[in-house]
């Protein structure tokens, strides 16, 4: 995944762990906020809405807006409410069901 | 005189009546409460529903049917006025059953009602296989359903917004943040608010939901309404999972699934409880197992406005002629009737609907 994120990482001392987002390997700071870490790593589209297929990314970063939903461990959860853990496999939720999601 | 009608209550019921009066050329001022008011219009389930209503009073069933039949035209007119859809879908709705006994007991009641309605009660019983074809995500615990073709649903928040906007577009005044404290009738009506606002009008419609508990008797009504709490849940927006609505769950036009609703006699408490929400979630998962993996994004409680027999009340005040009580617990279903037919009753025209069974005469003198 190309790292052209507009976000700056303030602390870069944390040890990195390997996770997979949409099948792509990423090395993210262990224990970091998952939504923030994915944004910093250059992930811009977290999911597509199941209604229109429009792309979505974090908006509120505080657990209220549910825009940053990802699927991990078999559950759809807000990325901004999760911490980066070694070996995490993160997918875009409902992607296989949303036939019109193309972005 | 600044208005022909002062409408006390700016929820879906009051705004529907106001909208109907305005499109007949009446001058209308709506007095809406504030965010501390119990606002059923902001917390309801959004069904446009016919089945199960009026089991003991066929006129309530037929009044609901008249409204449901007029809803499409009502929604189209609102959409023309505001440029926004209210998300109406009237492709039928289900009463889901988890046992054959309850299913056939309900069918027997519907059969009896159908006779009283001259056969106009289009429903069919779907067994498991037929239901699975209509609703591929239905769970194995559901034994069958009654599909009623006059049922449907809408987006109740969009309806509220559209009504408020269209009432203003039609020249109505909507005053927000008002608490009506007194209504006097020295000559015409004067409606007094806690902030000093006074509105004068030839006639008054009291459509203040639970506000009628206090205001009703001041205007000469019995107004025997009480709160009944309904807790509801809403999920993240999901791919199409549910085709037709039921009392258990419906998928709204925006993709979220609304799960409802408790029926609790807890007074003026519109909070949520863990047992209440857990029970709703368990029932919804029994009906649609895929919901077990859905994220819930919000839950809330809202208070229904119930009369002793559950029917609406339409009553002119015997003490203050020209004041009318309009209250019901199905403000969404009846919105079209309130907008299109109730103005004839208020104006006493030849086209006035027969609402005699909904008068306060049915309640004992307290």
Across-strand partners of B231? B301
pTM: 0.90
Pairing verdict, β B28-31 and B173-175: parallel
> Does the beta-carbon distance from B254 to A49 stay under 8 Å?
no
Using an 8 Å CB-CB cutoff, list chain B residues near A91.
Answer: none
pLDDT digits (tens, 9 = 90+) for B314-346: 999 999 999 999 999 999 999 999 999 999 999
- For A96, name the nearest residue in chain B, comparing CA atoms only: B239
Residue pair B46/B212 in contact (Cβ under 8 Å)? The answer is no
pLDDT for residue B1:
64
Cα–Cα distance measured from residue B320 to residue B306, given in angstroms and rounded to the nearest whole number = 24
Q: What's the pLDDT band for A3 if we cut at 50, 70, 90?
A: low
Using an 8 Å CB-CB cutoff, list chain B residues near A49.
Answer: 237, 255
Task: Give the HSE-up count for residue B119: Cα atoms under 13 Å, Cβ half-sphere.
Answer: 0
pLDDT for residue A6:
83
Using an 8 Å CB-CB cutoff, list chain B residues near A78.
Answer: 295
Query: What does DSSP assign to residue B357?
Result: G
3-state helix, strand, coil split of chain A in percent (to 5) is 10, 30, 60
CB pairs under 8 A between A and B: 26
Cα–Cα distance measured from residue B360 to residue B325, given in angstroms and rounded to the nearest whole number = 10
Q: What is the mean pLDDT of residues A11-33?
A: 92
CATH fold, domain A17-98, is: Ubiquitin-like (UB roll) (3.10.20)
Q: Which of A74, A78, A94 sits opposite B238 (nearest CB)?
A: A94
Q: What is the mean pLDDT of residues B64-71?
A: 98
- For A68, name the nearest residue in chain B, comparing CA atoms only: B236
Q: What is the mean pLDDT of residues A74-100?
A: 85
Using an 8 Å CB-CB cutoff, list chain A residues near B295.
Answer: 66, 69, 76-78
Query: What does DSSP assign to residue B360?
Result: G
pLDDT digits (tens, 9 = 90+) for B141-170: 999 999 999 999 999 999 999 999 999 999
Report yes or no: B239 at the A interface, CB cutoff 8 Å.
yes
H or E segment to which residue B190 belongs: strand B189-193
Mean of pLDDT over chain B: 97
Residue pair A37/A29 in contact (Cβ under 8 Å)? The answer is yes
pLDDT for residue A100:
39
Residue pair B30/B191 in contact (Cβ under 8 Å)? The answer is no
pLDDT for residue B64:
98
Cα–Cα distance measured from residue B176 to residue B15, given in angstroms and rounded to the nearest whole number = 12
The torsion angle over the Cα atoms of residues B238, B242, B246 and B252, rounded to 10 degrees, is 40
Sign of the torsion angle spanned by Cα atoms B295, B331, B25, B33: negative
Give the residue from B283, B268, B158, B266 showing the smallest Cα distance to B232: B283
Across-strand partners of B228? B304
Q: Which of residues 217-236 of B touch A (CB under 8 A)?
A: 236
> Does the beta-carbon distance from B255 to A77 stay under 8 Å?
no
The domains of chain A are located at: 17-98
Percent of residues, chain B, with pLDDT higher than 70: 99
> Does the beta-carbon distance from A66 to B295 stay under 8 Å?
yes
CA distance B284 to chain A (A): 18
Residue pair B12/B155 in contact (Cβ under 8 Å)? The answer is no
Q: Which of A49, A75, A78 sits opposite B237 (nearest CB)?
A: A49
Tokens at residue B95, please? 């009463």
- Best residue in A53, A91, A94 for a mutation probing chain B (most B CBs within 10 Å): A94
Tokens at residue B69, please? 């039949």
Give the SS3 label for residue B148.
strand
Cα–Cα distance measured from residue B88 to residue B72, given in angstroms and rounded to the nearest whole number = 7
Q: What's the pLDDT band for A96 if we cut at 50, 70, 90?
A: low
Q: Which of A66, A77, A97 sits opposite B239 (nearest CB)?
A: A97
Cα–Cα distance measured from residue B60 to residue B57, given in angstroms and rounded to the nearest whole number = 6
Q: Which of residues 276-305 of B touch A (CB under 8 A)?
A: 293-295, 297
CA distance A69 to chain B (A): 9
Residue pair A103/A44 in contact (Cβ under 8 Å)? The answer is no
Tokens at residue B206, please? 């009291």
pLDDT for residue B235:
95
Give the residue from A5, A35, A38 showing the smallest Cα distance to A24: A38
Does the pLDDT of residue A11 top 80, yes or no? Answer: no
Cα–Cα distance measured from residue B9 to residue B325, given in angstroms and rounded to the nearest whole number = 11
Q: What is the mean pLDDT of residues B274-293?
A: 97
pLDDT digits (tens, 9 = 90+) for B239-277: 999 999 999 999 998 899 999 999 999 999 999 999 999
């Amino acid at each position: 995944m190309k790292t052209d994120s507009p976000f700056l990482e303030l602390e870069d001392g944390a040890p990195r762990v390997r996770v997979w987002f949409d099948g792509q390997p990423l090395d993210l700071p262990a224990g970091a906020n998952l939504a923030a870490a994915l944004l910093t790593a250059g992930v811009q589209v977290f999911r597509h809405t199941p209604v229109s297929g429009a792309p979505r990314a974090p908006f509120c970063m505080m657990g209220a807006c549910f825009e940053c939903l990802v699927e991990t461990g078999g559950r759809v959860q807000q990325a901004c409410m999760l911490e980066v853990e070694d070996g995490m496999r993160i997918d875009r939720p409902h992607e296989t069901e949303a036939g019109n999601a193309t972005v | 005189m600044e208005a022909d009608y002062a409408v006390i209550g700016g929820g879906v019921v009051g705004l529907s009546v106001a909208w109907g009066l305005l499109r007949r050329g009446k001058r209308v001022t709506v007095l809406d409460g504030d965010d501390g008011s119990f606002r059923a219009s902001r917390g309801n389930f959004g069904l446009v529903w016919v089945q199960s209503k009026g089991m003991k009073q066929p006129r309530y069933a037929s009044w609901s049917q008249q409204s449901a039949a007029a809803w499409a035209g009502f929604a189209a007119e609102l959409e023309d006025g505001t440029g926004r859809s209210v998300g109406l879908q009237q492709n039928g709705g289900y009463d889901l059953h988890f046992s054959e006994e309850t299913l056939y007991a309900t069918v027997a009641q519907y059969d009896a009602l159908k006779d009283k309605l001259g056969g106009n009660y289009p429903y069919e019983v779907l067994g498991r296989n037929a239901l699975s074809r209509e609703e591929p995500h239905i769970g194995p615990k559901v034994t069958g359903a009654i599909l009623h073709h006059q049922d449907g649903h809408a987006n109740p928040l969009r309806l509220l917004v559209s009504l408020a906007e269209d009432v203003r577009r039609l020249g109505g005044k909507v005053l927000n943040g008002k608490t009506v404290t007194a209504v006097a009738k020295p000559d015409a009506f004067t409606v007094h608010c806690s902030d000093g606002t006074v509105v004068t009008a030839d006639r008054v419609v009291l459509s203040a939901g639970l506000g009628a508990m206090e205001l009703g008797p001041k205007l000469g009504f019995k107004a025997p309404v009480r709160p009944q709490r309904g807790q509801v849940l809403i999920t993240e927006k999901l791919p199409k999972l549910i085709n037709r609505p039921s009392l258990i769950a419906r998928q709204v036009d925006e993709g979220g699934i609304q799960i409802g609703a408790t029926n609790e006699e807890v007074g003026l408490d519109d909070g949520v409880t863990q047992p209440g929400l857990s029970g709703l979630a368990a029932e919804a998962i029994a009906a649609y197992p895929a919901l077990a993996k859905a994220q819930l994004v919000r839950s809330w409680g809202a208070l229904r406005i119930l009369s002793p027999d559950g029917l609406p009340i339409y009553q002119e005040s015997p003490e203050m002629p020209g004041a009318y009580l309009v209250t019901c617990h199905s403000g969404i279903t009846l919105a079209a009737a309130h907008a299109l037919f109730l103005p004839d009753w208020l104006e006493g025209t030849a086209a006035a609907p027969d609402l005699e069974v909904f008068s306060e005469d049915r309640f004992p003198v307290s």
